[in-house]
Amino acid sequence: MDFALTKLIVLYKMKWKLRDLYKAFSRRKVVDNTEESTLARVLSTLDLTALGIGSTLGVGAYILAGSVAKKHAGPAVVISFAIAAVASMFAGLCYAEFGARVPRAGSAYIYSYVTIGEFVAFLMGWTLILEYVIGSASVVRALSTYVDVLFNDSMKNFFESVMPINVDSLSSYPDFFALGVTLIFSVALAFGAKESSMVNNIFTLVNLSVVLFVIIAGSLKADINNWKTEPSCTETDCENGEGGFMPYGISGIITGAAACFYGFIGFDCVATTGEEAKNPQRSIPIAIVASLTIVFLAYFGVSVVLTTVLPYYEQNPEAPFPHIFDFIGWEWAKWFVTIGAISGLCASLLGSMFPLPRVIYAMASDGLVFKWMGNINSRFQTPIMGTLSAGLLTGILATIFELDPLVKMMSICTLLTYSIVASCVLILRYEESEAYEKKGDHNPRTFVFIIKQLISANKLNHSTKLTAQIVTVLVCCYILLCICTAILLSMYTTEIAAGKVAFIVLLVIFVIGLVITLSFIYFQPVSGRKLAFSVPFVPFLPGFSILINIYLMMTLDKDTWILFAIWIAIGLGVYFLYGMWHSHIRNQKKWSTSNDKGADFSHIT
């Protein structure tokens, strides 16, 4: 009897602990758009557009087009860029809606905090920190390497002879130039958003001018017949494809599109400026769409010039611009390309470093990371400690690490945040209407009623708590189906291409499941909330964005997933040991319950 009673008490306590844990995980942030920000609102739509272009149109414009043309798509690289641009625009539209809906610093972190809950929000913020740190470190390392090449690797040779590093996965020498550049840029960012955005505008203008020069100058030597040439083949192999506009076929275009997609990563930094934009609900959507459009036009023009001036199989995948100018005899033009590459890398570095302290500031303001990291300097009105500490971490990584394998981690972080933002758009679009919320939830929870509601047979005119819960469950089911579909496509591509019935049938089942799930979501009543900007074709456009992002994540290698898991494990330690207990929402609830003398809620976290 005593044993049974003890067991019941233990189970009761476990129940309350699990309930408390769930409540902590699902705590949501309520954003008051009328509340004044402590950051300075100084950024215009032009500043945000330049920031988006600068962080996206970096070294990819000088390398990616030639590499994809030679290895994957041939002249059809223009189609690959178009597909990648459309996929990126889908993600960009989701960011644009949230930028208008939640104009706060923090990007995907604040979006998931408002929509899903504190635990997922912390993981998003922690993932964003990794994305921007690695992105900044890889860019500054590329800048250092590019400058060093101009001086015949003098820095590399000197430091390797004086301070060699003989450790696997680390750099062969400490790159103090990269450390110095990172610290200089960190100090510049700490001086103020307006000042640093002016520098970024200059870098971006130079970068765009050089890209425009390349397009105009190259078009003077363009020959459309280079889209019809055929490479020489052996009796057994055609290493460079079959020639023509699509030498590698449709599969080559799709593979090229996956590679080109990474050339559009970076626009999401615009969404972190919600508290520094003069009119964020208008500026952020315009800046995201405008920057992605301009970047696509730049990539498209560069791709056309490269493949018409020189056949795709004669491209230099590592330095295509200098190669074509050597080919046409314009050696002086290489200096313009050099200036553009350095300006593009500097703009990318600013674009990568700019959002990092904003994410840290947002998390520190919510109590999820150490408070001192979010302190705002009264003179410059920037999170100066967060900026400098983030810059120091970035500089250390750029100094001692070989970042090639870590660049893939940046991709997995970016694609994960894209997927979460698109999921949040779906959940919030079908949230409970404010008018119905005041009336109370009177929908029955019977099996028949729920099944009928999947096809809107109950004729509900407003979104209710039940319909919002149905959509949340359907979104989770859709994500699981996307994961299954992506695993099938990434691991069994050869079998599907060979026409094996079992794999094709399984793929058809998954695709039908995806379409049916999105259709069920479509039948649910939407929230009546008016927005400054709304994603069109919901739920199909965000749903397609989720599928593309998850597929690209599944194409990454095992080592990338292991490194990402280690970073997440460190983050979980920070959350459970600090963030969970210092959360401002938790402290607000404790304060309100301590002042409620009519009830005892001491067991609630």
Most confident of 145-149, 231-235, 406-410, 560-564: 560-564
Q: Hey, what's the torsion of the CAs at 526, 527, 529, 534, to 10 degrees?
A: -40
Q: Which residues contact 205 (CB under 8 A, 6 or more apart)?
A: 50
The span from the CA of 261 to the CA of 80, in Å, is 9
The span from the CA of 252 to the CA of 80, in Å, is 9
Q: Which of 531, 533, 486, 522 is nearest to 506 (CA)?
A: 486
How long is the chain?
605
- CATH fold for the domain made of 39-225+248-402: Amino acid/polyamine transporter I (1.20.1740)
List the chain domain ranges.
39-225+248-402
**Containing H/E element for 24?**
helix 2-25
* Upstream peptide bond of 285 is cis (omega within 30 degrees of 0): no
Residue 1 has pLDDT above 60, yes or no: no
The 8-class DSSP code of residue 95 comes to: H
Structure tokens, 386: 């967060």
Kindly state the average pLDDT of the residues 369-373.
79
Greatest CA separation for the chain: 95
Work out the burial of residue 222: count CB atoms within 10 Å of its CB; fewer than 13 is exposed, 13-18 middle, 19 or more buried: middle
The span from the CA of 85 to the CA of 107, in Å, is 21
The span from the CA of 362 to the CA of 110, in Å, is 8
Helix ranges restricted to H, 151-239: 154-162, 176-190, 193-219
Q: Which of 261, 541, 589 is nearest to 425 (CA)?
A: 541
Structure tokens, 590: 């404790």
Do the beta carbons of residue 315 and residue 356 sit within 8 Å? no
Do the beta carbons of residue 416 and residue 554 sit within 8 Å? no
- Ramachandran angles phi, psi of 460, nearest 5°: -80, 130
Q: Where does residue 390 fall: left (phi above 0), alpha (psi -120 to 50 degrees), or beta otherwise?
A: alpha
**Which one-letter amino acid corresponds to residue 390?**
A
Q: Which residues contact 564 (CB under 8 A, 6 or more apart)?
A: 130, 409, 412, 413
Residue 447 has pLDDT above 60, yes or no: yes
The span from the CA of 520 to the CA of 529, in Å, is 21
* Cα dist from 114 to 30, 102, 401, 461, 491, whole Å: 6, 8, 36, 25, 35
Q: Which of 233, 263, 248 is nearest to 72 (CA)?
A: 248
Helix ranges restricted to H, 151-192: 154-162, 176-190
* Cα dist from 399 to 136, 295, 354, 593, whole Å: 12, 30, 20, 50
Confidence of residue 68 (pLDDT cuts 50, 70, 90): confident
Three-state secondary-structure class, residue 395 = helix
Confidence of residue 484 (pLDDT cuts 50, 70, 90): very high
Three-state secondary-structure class, residue 123 = helix
Confidence (pLDDT) at 602: 37
Q: What is the mean pLDDT of the chain?
A: 80
Residue 479 has pLDDT above 90, yes or no: yes
Place of tokens 């100090």: 187
- Ramachandran angles phi, psi of 21, nearest 5°: -65, -45
- Ramachandran angles phi, psi of 592, nearest 5°: -70, -35
The span from the CA of 145 to the CA of 181, in Å, is 12
Give the pLDDT confidence of 120-176 residue by residue, as tens digits. Answer: 889 888 988 888 888 788 788 877 877 776 677 788 888 888 888 877 767 778 888
* Cα dist from 243 to 65, 69, 302, whole Å: 18, 12, 20
Kindly state the average pLDDT of the residues 196-206.
75
Higher-confidence residue of 330 and 472: namely 472
Distance of CA 460 to the CA centre of its chain: 36
Residue 240 has pLDDT above 50, yes or no: yes
- Ramachandran angles phi, psi of 239, nearest 5°: -60, -35
* Cα dist from 493 to 76, 486, 501, whole Å: 21, 10, 13
Residue 6 has pLDDT above 80, yes or no: no
The span from the CA of 57 to the CA of 88, in Å, is 14
Confidence (pLDDT) at 601: 32
Q: Which residues contact 547 (CB under 8 A, 6 or more apart)?
A: 482, 485, 486, 514
Residue 597 has pLDDT above 60, yes or no: no
**C-alpha gyration radius of the chain:** 26
Confidence (pLDDT) at 510: 96
Predicted structure pTM score: 0.80
- Ramachandran angles phi, psi of 228, nearest 5°: -115, -5
Kindly state the average pLDDT of the residues 467-493.
92
The span from the CA of 205 to the CA of 579, in Å, is 41
Q: Which residues contact 274 (CB under 8 A, 6 or more apart)?
A: 99, 102, 103, 104, 105, 106, 110, 280, 284
The span from the CA of 43 to the CA of 33, in Å, is 17
Distance of CA 51 to the CA centre of its chain: 15
